[in-house]
């Protein structure tokens, strides 16, 4: 067992995910407590240089043609070997479509405790601590990171990706693995997102609607407001899952990241998965009848009025302002 901290590098089509930088920032903090180093573990094919700008002490690189695209089963097999063989103090993943399932399987396979939804970590007086975010961002919980080893999945918000970026490329060690057979999970290909009518990631004014919009008919009101403002309508996941707007309009973890001048959030609670996609907006105005809604922690301005009362009045007001 070592006192090192490992970070499993998440990458998609040649791009390292921001959450990996966040995890490296957390790993650096943990390593100050353990006295160990930070190793980035990179599984890929022809991707040796991918981890070059991570603030890690070294990179463990595993190359195999079968690792060109993410396959959870390959990750499970390789990482069970690597981590099980010489367990580091902690292994950090992103709490994402890739990281979450690998961390879960490894926790059971290696009998290694797992702390998920971790936002920040601390190392003081020989103790390693975690703070995780639960209940849609309404509650934080704190505790000791289990001994002697633990797996951790990180959510964004506690560290900026810049904090995990390094100046000099860490040294890369190539490690070989036994050939990866054709297992029970096979990657079959990608389905590209549909061509867009409107690209919300470049639209300067967004009228964002959430479950508070209540039904499909009300979506029209939001469209009308967006049109009057010269912007576009986007939405949280439940609105898209209902089929009221196309997937291309979804903002958040599984949708788009947007960065408009104005984000008008109507009937959106501000779940972490949503906030991840809109927290870089210049000005956020949130309308939500729940005074405790987490969206008010992200917004600069807020109101507790009913959005269905507000929309018609706001449309009129904007029209009047534009006309006059």
Ligand X SMILES: Cc1cc2nc3c(=O)[nH]c(=O)nc-3n(C[C@H](O)[C@H](O)[C@H](O)COP(=O)(O)OP(=O)(O)OC[C@H]3O[C@@H](n4cnc5c(N)ncnc54)[C@H](O)[C@@H]3O)c2cc1C
Task: Decide which of other proteins, ligand X, none touches 297; Cβ closer than 5 to 8 Å per partner kind.
Answer: other proteins
**Binding segment (CB under 8 A) for other proteins, from list 21-29, 49-57, 149-157, 163-171:** 149-157
Tokens of 131: 């703070």
Nearer to other proteins, 140 or 169 (CB): 140
Nearer to ligand X, 167 or 292 (CB): 292
**Residue 119 burial (CB < 10 Å; 0-12/13-18/19+)?**
buried
Minimum CB separation of residue 291 from other proteins in Å reads 8
Nearer to other proteins, 144 or 173 (CB): 144
Nearer to other proteins, 52 or 157 (CB): 157
CA distance linking residue 186 with residue 198, whole number of Å: 34
Contacts of 257 (CB under 8 A, 6+ apart): 201, 251, 276, 277, 278, 280
Tokens of 260: 């408009």
Does position 35 interact with other proteins (CB under 8 A)? The reply is no
Minimum CB separation of residue 162 from ligand X in Å reads 23
**Binding segment (CB under 8 A) for other proteins, from list 40-48, 52-60, 172-180, 306-314:** 306-314
Which whole-number Å values give the CA distances from 36 to 33, 58, 89, 275, in the listed order? 8, 12, 9, 34
- Residues 252-291 contacting other proteins, CB under 8 A: 253-257, 261-262, 264, 269, 271, 283-287, 290
Minimum CB separation of residue 293 from ligand X in Å reads 4
Q: Is 136 left (phi over 0), alpha (psi -120 to 50) or beta?
A: left
Task: Decide which of other proteins, ligand X, none touches 130; Cβ closer than 5 to 8 Å per partner kind.
Answer: other proteins
Q: Which of 170, 249, 149 is nearest to 209 (CA)?
A: 249
Nearer to other proteins, 59 or 232 (CB): 232
Does position 321 interact with other proteins (CB under 8 A)? The reply is yes
Minimum CB separation of residue 311 from ligand X in Å reads 9
Q: Is 85 left (phi over 0), alpha (psi -120 to 50) or beta?
A: alpha
Q: State the virtual CA torsion across 176, 66, 107, 84 in degrees, nearest 10.
A: -10
Identify each DSSP E strand in 34-170 by its residue range.
Answer: 38-44, 58-63, 90-94, 114-124, 127-134, 139-144, 150-154
With beta carbons less than 8 A apart as the criterion, state whether 242 and 263 touch: no
Nearer to other proteins, 59 or 239 (CB): 239
State whether residue 167 is helix, strand or coil: coil
Contacts of 109 (CB under 8 A, 6+ apart): 76, 80, 84
- Pick one of 172, 177, 180, 318: the residue that binds other proteins (CB under 8 A): 318
Q: What is the pattern of x (binds other proteins, CB under 8 A) and - over residues 43-62?
A: --------------------
Does position 181 interact with other proteins (CB under 8 A)? The reply is no
Site of interaction with ligand X (CB under 6 A): 210-212, 236-238, 250-255, 267-269, 271, 273-274, 277, 287-290, 293, 306-308
**Binding segment (CB under 8 A) for other proteins, from list 31-39, 43-51, 60-68, 250-258:** 250-258
């Amino acid at each position: 067992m070592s006192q090192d901290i490992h970070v499993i590098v998440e990458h998609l089509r040649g791009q390292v995910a921001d959450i990996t930088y966040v995890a490296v920032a957390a790993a650096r903090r943990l390593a100050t407590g353990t006295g160990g180093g930070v190793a980035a573990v990179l599984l890929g094919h022809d991707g040796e240089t991918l981890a070059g700008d991570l603030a890690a002490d070294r990179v463990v690189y595993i190359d195999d043609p079968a690792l060109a695209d993410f396959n959870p089963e390959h990750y499970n097999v390789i990482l069970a070997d690597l981590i099980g063989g010489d367990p580091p103090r902690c292994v950090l993943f992103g709490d994402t479509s890739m990281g979450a399932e690998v961390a879960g399987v490894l926790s059971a396979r290696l009998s290694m405790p797992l702390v998920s939804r971790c936002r920040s970590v601390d190392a003081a007086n020989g103790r390693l601590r975690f703070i995780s975010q639960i209940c849609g961002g309404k509650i934080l919980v704190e505790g000791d990171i289990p001994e002697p080893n633990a797996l951790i999945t990180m959510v964004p918000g506690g560290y900026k990706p810049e904090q995990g970026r390094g100046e000099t490329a860490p040294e890369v060690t190539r490690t070989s693995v036994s050939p990866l057979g054709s297992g029970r999970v096979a990657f079959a290909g990608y389905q590209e997102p549909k061509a867009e009518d409107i690209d919300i990631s470049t639209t300067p004014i967004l009228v964002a609607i959430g479950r508070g919009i209540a039904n499909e008919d009300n979506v029209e009101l939001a469209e009308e407001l967006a049109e009057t403002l010269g912007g576009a309508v986007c939405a949280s996941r439940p609105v898209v899952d209902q089929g009221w707007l196309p997937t291309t309009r979804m903002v958040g973890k599984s949708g788009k990241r947007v960065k408009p001048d104005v984000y008008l959030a109507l009937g959106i609670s501000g779940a972490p998965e949503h906030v991840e996609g809109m927290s870089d907006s210049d000005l956020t105005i949130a309308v939500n009848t729940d005074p405790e809604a987490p969206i008010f922690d992200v917004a600069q301005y807020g109101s507790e009025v009913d959005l269905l009362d507000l929309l018609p009045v706001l449309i009129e007001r904007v029209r009047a302002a534009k006309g006059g």
